[in-house]
Amino acid sequence: MSSQAATHIHVADYLKFRADKEGVGSELSRDWFDALLMVGVRTFFGINTDATGNVLNDIQNPQALREYMTTERVYDHCELRSRDL
């Protein structure tokens, strides 16, 4: 896996993680985010992204982003599983 692929965090995937962690859940699809990214939206619920939806920072819950970045992100039907350590 290239380093670029390893560091790309799509906002839809990250928001699902953060919403679950905050106990609020999220039903927003990747298509919903991509449509807004195409018209120039770059901030979603305090999460700043680049033009492709890659998360740059989270001003609302930076601790969640730090935790997300240290967890292997494997989604299977929107279920997050931690890496075996």
Examine the pLDDT at 76 and tell me if it is beyond 90. Answer: no
Q: What is the 3-state secondary structure (H, E, C) of 21-81?
A: HHCCCCCCCHHHHHHHHHCCCCEECCEEECCCCEEEEECCCHHHHHHHHCCCCEECCCCEE
pTM: 0.75
- Per-residue pLDDT of 18-37, as tens digits, reads 999 999 988 999 999 999 99
Q: What is the pLDDT at residue 28?
A: 94
Give the domain ranges of the chain: 3-72
* Residue scoring higher pLDDT (83 or 22): 22
pLDDT digits (tens, 9 = 90+) for 45-65: 999 999 999 999 999 999 999
Task: Please tell me the predicted confidence (pLDDT) of residue 85.
Answer: 34
